[in-house]
Amino acid sequence: MPRKIKVAAAQVGRVDTDADRKDTLARLIALLEQAGQQGVNLVVFPEIALTTFFPRMVGLDDDMVNNPEKLDMWYEKGPIVENPNVKPLFDKATELGIDVHIGYAELTEDGKHYNTCSYVKAGKELAKYRKVRCTKTHLPGFSEPFANPESENHLEKRYFLPGDTGFQAFRVPGPATDEEHGEPIMGMMICNDRRWPESWRNYGLQGAEIVMVGYNTPFFQPEALGHGPDEDPEVRKKIVEGHHLLCMQAHTHTNATFSISSARCGYDNGVSGMIGSSTIIHPEGHIIAISKTWDDELVVAEIDLDECKRLQEKTFNFGKHRRIEHYQRLATQTGVVKPPRVA
Ligand code: CDT
């Protein structure tokens, strides 16, 4: 029996440092209303969707980078579903009967800062994920700004603690629930996580049927990423978009799940170019729908979760085909250890 659900990536374009939060929220609500008109059940908003992508250095003044009081304006405090900065979005979603995945900077009651996303249904938070890739080794970005103020950096290590939630899949009551499968199984990750097979396999091993990913991905960062400063930005843009699609398509397929990826994109403050290419991807690995702009845009598709089944039962039947006796290195070794040289 088909298990159909209509999903959308709500891509969000340029948001400047001085953007009025109410205006930004109104843009998100407009996307939600479009989704309502198209009968969408689930909308996925990007990573840090409510403000500019403040961890970037370019376009932020020194005070913003170094003054903790000024910095806290970017974070959401208290339970997200009651937070006045975002509650009107959840209220509208409840009115339209739409579930929402949204990324934001979180400040906990005990003063911890995380890069977080939540899954909210009818005003209730069903699940929360805090980005783990802000660790001292794998982090996207750095803790200290580069000396060159023109050099684009992402200071996630400075602004967020490594997440403490891990990759916990969860069930979502609603469409596509049936006797045989129960409620759909979903998982969340944030941006850089999508480049790591480990994040995906965590969800694959829990039988995830939809993986949601919000992202802010800059395409031209010679100093941060070590590519040539003289490289043609147009070429680099294609390479970085290619990495995004490669990672999304390959990992979606090898974990026999659908995925939805949603970009915060465009040139914040006119300087910080971040890619679009928000996608909805099939378990077979092909792109079902993709954004065409680097602006606010809703990418919609109806998907049938039953289409995960063939791969889950055959090619990627983990219980049958995984050989964990050969995978010990994956969980016991962090960095590269090369084999001894022959001579
Ligand atoms: N937001 C995020 O995780 N961005 C990273 C790039 C950071 S560049 C140092 C990404 O993987 O897209």
pLDDT tens, residue order, the chain (343 aa): 899 999 999 999 999 989 999 999 999 999 999 999 999 999 999 999 999 998 886 666 666 767 777 788 999 999 999 999 999 999 999 999 999 999 999 999 999 999 999 999 999 999 999 998 654 434 456 677 777 766 667 788 788 888 999 999 999 999 999 999 999 999 999 999 999 999 999 999 999 999 999 999 999 888 777 787 788 999 999 999 999 999 999 999 999 999 999 999 999 988 879 999 999 999 999 999 999 999 999 999 999 999 999 999 999 999 999 999 999 999 999 999 999 999 8
CA of 120 to the centre of ligand 1 (A): 25
How much is the pLDDT for 137?
A: 39
Contact between residue 149 and residue 200 where contact means Cβ atoms under 8 Å apart? no
**Ligand 1 pocket, residue 217 CB under 6 Å:** yes
Question: 289 by DSSP, 3-state: which?
Answer: strand
* For ligand 1, mutation pick of 217, 261, 278 (most atoms within 8 Å of CB): 217
Beta pairing class for 272-274 and 4-11: unpaired
Quote the DSSP letter at residue 121. E
Which atom of ligand 1 has the smallest separation from the CA of 133? 3
Known catalytic residue at 131:
yes
Quote the DSSP letter at residue 161. P
Cα separations (Å) of 123 from 86, 90, 237? 11, 6, 38
CA of 141 to the centre of ligand 1 (A): 7
**Ligand 1 pocket, residue 291 CB under 6 Å:** no
CA of 7 to the centre of ligand 1 (A): 25
**269 exposure class (CB count in 10 Å sphere: 0-12, 13-18, 19+):** middle
Beta pairing class for 272-274 and 266-268: antiparallel
Task: Note the residue count of the chain.
Answer: 343
What are the structure tokens assigned to 219, written together?
């395409």
How much is the pLDDT for 136?
A: 40
Contacts of 309 (CB under 8 A, 6+ apart): none
**147 exposure class (CB count in 10 Å sphere: 0-12, 13-18, 19+):** exposed
Quote the DSSP letter at residue 60. -
Amino acid at 71: L
How much is the pLDDT for 198?
A: 95
What are the structure tokens assigned to 176, written together?
């596509």
CA of 171 to the centre of ligand 1 (A): 28
The active-site residue out of 92, 121, 128, 131 is 131
